[in-house]
Amino acid sequence: MFPRTHFASFVAGTILAVFTSAAYAQDASAPVTLRISAVSGSVMPQDFRAGIKEGFFRKHGLEIEIAELATGANNITATVNGSADIGYADVFAGLSSIKNGFDIGFVAPHNGLSPHQFILVRDDSDIQAVEDLKGKNIALGAPPQFKAITSSWLAVQGGDPSAVSFTIVPDQTTFGVLLQSGQADAASTSSAVNAYRWIAEYGLRPVGITNTKELQIAEGSPIAGWWATAEWFEANREVATRFRDALRETIQWYGALSAQEKAAHVKEQTTIDLVALDTDLPGVLDAATAYFGFGTPVDLEKLAAWVATGARYADVPDDVDLDRHIFDTAKN
């Protein structure tokens, strides 16, 4: 039997624990509006908006308001100026922002490397293998991650990234026209939909390996996710944890969907009907719905390896204190 003083302490502690637990449950169920800055649904993975519609974020007491901006750098700027709480951007954009003096950190990873990387050439091109790209011009998108991915793709297949030239093209939807008109010798894209369309419409063909899993680029590391200022994170840790948990549940749920179910979300958000498109372009359905959500904690060593790749090929800063700028919600 407890002594009277010990018993009183036990009861008081139990009451406090129950009260604290109930208070948390009440807080967790109370809707909190979270302002999100993101790129369009046609650019970022469709899982996020599908997860909002499915109710995963509402389940965690979050009402999501999305403002769409053009790039990850724009989204980070929105968090810094206070017009957004959390912004979507690739890892390299986040590191560059930190080097530019922004005190931001990684709240949660969202996606890893796309399962496909297409280096496309015209069907009548003399480029038949990766080594034939030496001295050629490759068109790619503006973010540094595209240069890092393409350079890594070349290197692991025996090519020399320093022996090619890159032409930055902000509007990647024009790659087919650029190749057809001879303004570039090759084009690099991770979009299976665009690649299959250009192959059919412009008579293009891929060179080298298209399956990035075989190449082990960015192995085990996220390449993009959600960022916030350190000030906002410190004041809203519990809300950030709710967001992280809802995102992880979304990623797990979306990853288990069939290709047809994912295609329905793609069609809703982008108007692209992958099922119908697959009739004309066999293989595009499976390729375009291959999933690359990153729903686990960040491994700092593997992330550092990806950052080193960016530094090697795309002038990405590699002297950022990752431990400080990868928040606890992303590490646990």
pLDDT single digits (tens) 39-86: 998 788 999 999 999 999 999 999 999 999 989 999 999 999 999 999
| CATH fold group of domain 31-112+221-331 | D-Maltodextrin-Binding Protein; domain 2 (3.40.190)
**Strand ranges inside 26-157, DSSP E:** 32-38, 62-68, 86-90, 104-111, 118-122, 137-140
Angle separating helix axes 259-270 and 47-54, nearest 10 degrees: 90
The full set of domain ranges for the chain reads: 31-112+221-331, 118-215
**What DSSP line would sit under 225-251, residue for residue?**
EEEEEHHHHHH-HHHHHHHHHHHHHHH
Residue 284 pLDDT > 60: yes
pLDDT single digits (tens) 175-203: 999 999 999 999 999 999 999 999 999 99
pLDDT single digits (tens) 131-148: 999 999 999 998 999 999
Same fold, 31-112+221-331 and 118-215: yes
pLDDT single digits (tens) 209-221: 999 988 999 999 9
Residue 152 pLDDT > 70: yes
CB atoms within 10 A of CB 136: 16
Whether 154 contacts 124, CB under 8 Å: no
- What pLDDT is attached to residue 29? 55
What is the assigned CATH class of domain 118-215? alpha beta
Average pLDDT over residues 98-124: 97
Average pLDDT over residues 161-168: 96
